[in-house]
């Protein structure tokens, strides 16, 4: 099972998330913290093998907010993935979370199954709620590169299928949704995503999105 930690200043949310996620059988909760400061203190006391692989991090917390916590923690524990789990979807929060090193950004109204799926898939991409994905694209397209009429054909890196899958990924669809849409298996989608990242020399959806935006491959 995947080792996780939960950081949220609301006790009920911490307990509910821990209970529901543990019940999926996909994760084990190492610890929960009520603030960024408490999270960093608990991480400091753990041996490397005891640390969580992924952390669900709230943004608005006392003492040390989630974005500042991630910024500090990524320097200390670069191997740990951080998924921002928040009720907010303001543009500045999304941008700050991306800059801090967050691996994903989900809204708190996502289902337990979707959160568990994001924890499992975070190594292969940047899980985001669809609403967040659209906002992230909008942020990164500030001052966009004009789209050439032959933008898609000018791209000699990705195949037509890979471009199609990258577009659906940027739209916020997960592997299973893309698979259903294209009538292929989730494993095939995963392989395509891995090939796309390799060709673009990136390791996350956000990085791939930046490349696609810079090259003007997509409009939204």
Domain 2-129, CATH number (from 3.40.50.720, 1.10.10.10, 3.40.50.2300, 3.60.15.10): 3.40.50.2300
Under CATH, which number does the domain 141-215 receive? 1.10.10.10
Q: Where are the domains of the chain?
A: 2-129, 141-215
Report pLDDT digits (tens) over 173-204.
778 888 888 888 888 888 888 888 888 887 77
Exposure of 59 in the CB half-sphere (CA atoms within 13 A): 22
Q: Which pTM was predicted?
A: 0.62
Report pLDDT digits (tens) over 45-89.
999 999 999 999 998 887 788 988 998 898 899 899 999 888 766
The DSSP secondary-structure symbol of 219 reads -
% of the chain beyond a pLDDT of 90 = 30
Report pLDDT digits (tens) over 104-128.
888 888 899 989 988 988 866 666 6
The tokens for 84 are 């921002």
Q: Are 48 and 30 spatial neighbours (Cβ–Cβ below 8 Å)?
A: no
Alpha-carbon radius of gyration of the chain:
18
């Amino acid at each position: 099972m995947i080792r996780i930690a939960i950081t949220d200043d609301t006790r009920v949310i911490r307990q509910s998330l821990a209970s529901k996620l543990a019940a999926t059988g996909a994760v084990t909760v190492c610890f929960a913290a009520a603030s960024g400061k408490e999270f960093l203190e608990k991480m400091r006391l753990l041996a490397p093998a005891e640390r969580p692989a992924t952390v669900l991090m709230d943004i608005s917390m006392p003492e040390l907010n989630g974005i500042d916590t991630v910024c500090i923690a990524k320097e200390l524990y670069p191997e740990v993935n951080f998924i921002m789990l928040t009720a907010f979807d303001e543009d500045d929060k999304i941008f700050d979370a991306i800059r801090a090193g967050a691996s994903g950004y989900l809204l708190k109204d996502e289902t337990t199954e979707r959160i568990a799926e994001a924890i499992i898939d975070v190594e292969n991409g940047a899980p985001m709620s669809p609403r967040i994905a659209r906002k992230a694209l909008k942020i990164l397209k500030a001052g966009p590169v004009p789209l050439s009429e032959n933008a898609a054909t000018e791209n000699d890196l990705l195949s037509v299928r890979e471009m199609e899958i990258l577009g659906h990924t940027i739209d916020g669809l997960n592997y299973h949704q893309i698979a259903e849409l294209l009538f292929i298996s989730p494993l095939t989608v995963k392989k395509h995503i891995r090939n796309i990242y390799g060709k673009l020399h990136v390791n996350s959806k956000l990085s791939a999105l930046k490349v696609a935006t810079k090259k003007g491959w997509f409009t939204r």
